[in-house]
Amino acid sequence: MADKILEYLIFELDGLGESTYEVDDPIGDDFSVDVPEELMRDDLPFPDVPEVEVVRHYTRLSQLNFSVDTGFYPLGSCTMKYNPKIHEHVASDARFAMLHPYQPDEDVQGALAVMYHLSELLQEITGMDAISLHPAAGAHGELTGTFIARAYFRHKGETQRHIAIIPDSAHGTNPASAAMAGFDVIEVKSNEKGQVDMDALREIVGKYGDEIAIIMLTNPNTLGVFEENILEIAELIHGVGGLLYYDGANLNGILGMARPGDMGFDIVHLNLHKTFSAPHGGGGPGSGPIGVKEHLKDFLPVPTVIYDEESGMFKLNYDIPHSIGRMRMFHANFLVLLKSYMYIISLGGEGLRQVGRLAVLNANYLAAKVKKYFPIPYGELYKHEFVATGKVLKDQGVKTLDIAKRLIDFGVHPPTIYFPLIVSEALMIEPTETETKYNLDMYAAALETIFREAHENPEMLHSAPNNAPIGRLDDVKAVKQLKVVYTEEE
């Protein structure tokens, strides 16, 4: 298919020496057993590659990745902050990593203590009444939350509630999760400030009334703008018996400064791999705990962790009266929880407040520098992130995609692009609190350079990146000549 390659596929390394991995037989030759012929597999098409070449192959591949550990990564809505190394060190300790999910509670008191205390801390941080650590990721938490809303209304006999109201600026997961829980999605538009248009919302509420199940909001929203009317929105939705769902992807922008529970939200999900510094792992594992108010406590998934006064022990609790059931096997993404627990207790209350405050300082500072070249259509104050537009380079024939690809050449990661959908040629930038002023200045300078290049030499931007491990990749070809597994005959 290709003339040139960047790195072999492991399958192409077959025959490069022998496999050197040794497997011993602890039982020995005194005992033998046959495998029934009809069950036996003939061939296992895996390559045999010596250990040294396996290590080199994956080490080389790692070097083709951009990461937080290699540079500034202001990917909007993803909160790419620094991931402390002590967390990785502790999480690889056998006393945490080598635990079986069915061990008796009394033998895993350390693990259960972590889960119990983390639940309590997240309760305080969000202002909610109960927490479940069960969901595996943010979107999984959302799904859990929408299932809880569904179960709650069915329990109350309000099965006519089929509407989920979602702003046009929302993450794509919101409508997707709502649809999976059987809700019909009604989009509410944003006003000129980038916030929920209250007139449009009142109209929807007036029209659908008790058909409304939930409104799903991100606050600050995906434009990085705080929904100033949040208390009024809560009143409006609660007024018709609906629930407020909080998408916690953007919590970093208000950490310690406002709590979703106080805003009136009934259900909250968190992304521990965003706000609470568990690494993103190249796309997971995440962890998406959810928090609920008192009236929804009895619908949480199982299990939760409780403290039993009598025995003085932490225990897994499966006794939740109207539980929606399980969303996954076993208890939670425990090792991810462990990292966020360490983050929270080592920063302490004041340290967490500083996270929120400095994340916002960084976002506003970078916004002030960037908007000289790339306007920011919505908002004056930003929280964790801001969304600029690349459409000013339209006359030069330069697109946001070109800007993003060119940024790679400057040794930084591009922002999230073409999202949210309500900003054309969107550049969504979230610097996080762990970046120095110097890095922000360099990023702004890179964008300024690109702005100039667009006027002087737009062709060069179309071919970017030029200093990356690989040139611009052909997405269309990937779909048209679809190839998702390696085959030998080529």
Partner 1 sequence: MRYTPHRPNEIDEMLRTIGVSSIDDLFKDIPEQLKEKAEGAFQALSAPMTEKELSFYMDNLADENYDLFEVVSFMGAGVYPHYVPSVVDTISSRGEFYTAYTPYQAEASQGSLHVSFEWQTYIARLTGMDVANASMYDAGSATAEAVYMAIRIHRGKRNKVIIASTLHPEIKEVLKTYLEPKGTIIEEIRYDKETGRIDVEHLKDLVDEDTLAVIVQSPNFFGIIEDEKDAVEITHEKGALYIATILEPLAYGLIKPAGYYGADIVVGDAIGLGNYPAYGGPGVGFLATRSKYIRQMPGRLVGETTDVEGTRGYVLTLQTREQHIRRAKATSNITSNHFLMALRATVYMALLGRTGFKKLAYVNYKIAHYAKEKLEAIEGVEVPFSGPFFNEFTVKLPVSAQHVFDHMAAEGIYPGVPLHRFFGPAYENYMLIATTELHSKEDIDGLASHLLEVIKNG
The footprint of partner 1 on residues 79-138 (CB under 8 A) is 80-84, 86, 88, 90, 92-104, 107-111, 113-114, 121, 124-125, 127, 136-138
Among 204, 347, 393, 398, binds partner 1 (CB under 8 A): 347
In which residue are the tokens 């100033």 written?
Answer: 228
**Measured on CA atoms in the order 92, 288, 422, 234, is the torsion positive or negative?**
negative
If one asks whether residue 350 binds partner 1 (CB under 8 A), the answer comes out as yes
For partner 1, how many residues bind (rule: CB under 8 A)? Answer: 196
**278 close to 339: Cβ distance less than 8 angstroms:** yes
Nearer to partner 1 (CB atom), residue 73 or residue 208: 73
Candidate ranges 141-149, 207-215, 304-312, 449-457; the one touching partner 1 (CB under 8 A): 141-149
Contacting partner 1 within 39-78 (CB under 8 A): 39-41, 44-49, 51, 54-55, 57-59, 61-70, 73, 75, 78
Backbone conformation region of residue 475, classed left if phi is above 0, alpha if psi is from -120 to 50, else beta: alpha
Sheet holding 184-188, edge to edge: 130-132, 290-292, 267-270, 243-248, 212-217, 163-167, 184-188
If one asks whether residue 322 binds partner 1 (CB under 8 A), the answer comes out as no
Closest distance between partner 1 and the C-beta of residue 179, in Å? 4
Q: 422: helix, coil or strand?
A: coil
**Residue of 175, 231, 168, 234 lying closest to 196 (CA atoms):** 168
> Which residue type occupies 75?
L
Contacting partner 1 within 222-241 (CB under 8 A): 225-226, 228, 230-231
- Here's the x/- map for partner 1, 163-192, by CB under 8 A: it reads as --------xxx-xxxxxxxx--x-------
Among 212, 268, 335, 423, binds partner 1 (CB under 8 A): 335
Among 159, 160, 238, 381, binds partner 1 (CB under 8 A): 381
If one asks whether residue 316 binds partner 1 (CB under 8 A), the answer comes out as no
In the structure encoding, which two tokens stand for residue 327, read together?
A: 């969303």
**Residue of 262, 259, 267, 227 lying closest to 243 (CA atoms):** 267
Beta bridge partners of 196: 190
Closest distance between partner 1 and the C-beta of residue 295, in Å? 20
C-alpha angle 40/45/50, rounded to 5°? 115
Q: 217: helix, coil or strand?
A: strand
Distance CA 243, CA 245 (A): 6
Contacting partner 1 within 193-222 (CB under 8 A): none
Contacting partner 1 within 247-266 (CB under 8 A): 254, 256-259, 262-263
If one asks whether residue 377 binds partner 1 (CB under 8 A), the answer comes out as no
Contacting partner 1 within 387-406 (CB under 8 A): 404-405
If one asks whether residue 435 binds partner 1 (CB under 8 A), the answer comes out as yes
Among 200, 241, 315, 328, binds partner 1 (CB under 8 A): 328
**272 close to 289: Cβ distance less than 8 angstroms:** yes
Closest distance between partner 1 and the C-beta of residue 98, in Å? 4
Among 105, 211, 317, 326, binds partner 1 (CB under 8 A): 326
Nearer to partner 1 (CB atom), residue 248 or residue 286: 286
If one asks whether residue 301 binds partner 1 (CB under 8 A), the answer comes out as yes
Distance CA 443, CA 410 (A): 8
If one asks whether residue 16 binds partner 1 (CB under 8 A), the answer comes out as no
If one asks whether residue 445 binds partner 1 (CB under 8 A), the answer comes out as no
If one asks whether residue 286 binds partner 1 (CB under 8 A), the answer comes out as yes
Distance CA 427, CA 415 (A): 6
**281 close to 171: Cβ distance less than 8 angstroms:** no
Distance CA 346, CA 351 (A): 8
